[in-house]
Amino acid sequence: MEPVRSLREHLLRLREAGELRELGQAGLGDVPSLIAESGGMAGMVSVRGYAAPFAFNTMSSRRHAALALGIEEEDLRSRFLEAAAKPRAPESLGDLGMRGPMEPDLEALPIPKYYERDAGRYITSAIVFARDPDSGTMNASFHRIRVLDGRRGVIRMVENRHLHRIYMSARERGEDLKIAVEIGANPIVELAAAYQAPFGSYEAWIANAMAGGSLRFSDFAGVDVPLETEVLLEGRIRHDAKGEDAMVDILGLYDRPRMQPIVEFDRMYVSEGFVFRGLLAGGPEHRFLMSFPIEVKLERQLGDVLPGVRRVVLTEGGGRWLHAVIQIEKRLESDPRTAIIAAFTFDPSLKMVVVVDEDVDPEDPEEVEFALATRFQPDRDLVILEGMRGSSLDPSSDQATLTTSKWGLDATAPMDQRDRFRRAAVVRGG
């Protein structure tokens, strides 16, 4: 199969694969619970009072990502890594091919309030495109936007991440930052935009590399933006105005309230018969999009240090953010400890790392626990690190200094006694 060209083409592919549930009509206030109760299944619902249907969970698993790319699931990681290493610029730029420009009207879009204590209604699937005014570097990344009215919102930017860095460059000169925002982008673009690429590596070109160079682009708001999106907004992140942002994070906990910049939109474009795209914070789709690029990146980084690294899995119980299981082919008794220290170095958000042997499935929590029960001794195999930089999302960490303690667990069998630790195999036939 060829890579999909748009969200709607992806929805057709999900339907054909039995991965899409069509839910009829519902009120806007019912949408969050429909997503929460979907179990990660992709869905479409017609929202009463709004022209655009609402799509969700369209990229909630490796299977969904593989379907979008038209490849086998086992090839997903290598395709992603190859594209991240060699982004592909478009050969030419074309026209938008959308209805518009029109006056922006966020109130006309089916944007729900997802959680009871959210500060308001949030666009949760916005991909923001911007160009650094100093270096010319382009960036694409996911950001939540709290709707204030038909043309204004409050945009959350994590401090020192790339969009925030570009915004601060403009702000220091007393200028607003011009941006483009896509809602309902090609899912391949979404996968790339969730990746924290090195500054200077444009995520939309990584998406194009994943798609074999098949994505089309246009020069819009001073940035090369990928086409075939459902909604496209042109606007500015104001250098001189802020509003309150308070919403649920990837762990399903309430993030602390912050004052964040206001974004003001000047023009809006939509595809004919457009679909609105939403994402439940802390839900399976949010966790997959945030964790998959980190798993792949960490796998590569650890593999450069330890060639025996086979898999890295961010666990569901750790919110797919704080806890990791690393599967290795142990070549030295020190390898697990090396993997633990390196993982904490490469991904400061990690709080716990468990290292297991090749015969343990890192995605199976029962197998991991059994390895801990039978191969781990706390006095010998436990690594505790104090006063380490941690994740701001962990409410148990020191929120003033963002420091935490971390622990690593070596659940591998001793190399000279492996036979003692092998699971018994049942006789089959003969």
Residue 384 and residue 159: Cα distance in Å, rounded? 28
Residue 430 and residue 427: Cα distance in Å, rounded? 8
Residue 246 and residue 250: Cα distance in Å, rounded? 13
**46 close to 24: Cβ distance less than 8 angstroms:** yes
Residue 110 and residue 19: Cα distance in Å, rounded? 23
Task: Clarify whether 176 is annotated catalytic.
Answer: no
Hey, which residues does 171 pair with through a beta bridge? none
Hunting for tokens 């906990």 — which residue is that?
A: 253
Residue 366 and residue 358: Cα distance in Å, rounded? 15
Q: Where are the beta strands (DSSP E) in 217-331?
A: 217-220, 223-226, 231-245, 258-270, 276-277, 309-314, 323-328
Token pair for 420 = 């003692």
Hey, which residues does 263 pair with through a beta bridge? 153, 237
Buried b (16+ CB within 10 A) or exposed e, 364-394: eeebbeebbeebbeeeebebeeeebebbebb
**110 close to 272: Cβ distance less than 8 angstroms:** no
Strand bridging mode 352-356 / 382-389? unpaired
The alpha helices in 86-231, defined as continuous H runs, are: 162-172, 187-193, 203-210
Question: Count of CB atoms within 10 A of residue 30's CB?
Answer: 15
Cis-peptide, bond into residue 187, ω within 30° of zero: no
**163 close to 141: Cβ distance less than 8 angstroms:** yes
**114 close to 124: Cβ distance less than 8 angstroms:** yes
Helix or strand or coil: residue 112?
Answer: coil
Token pair for 284 = 């399976």
Choice among 249, 255, 394, 410 that is catalytic: 249
| Amino acid, res. 415 | M
Residue 368 and residue 144: Cα distance in Å, rounded? 35
**124 close to 281: Cβ distance less than 8 angstroms:** yes
> Could you give the residue numbers annotated as active site?
249
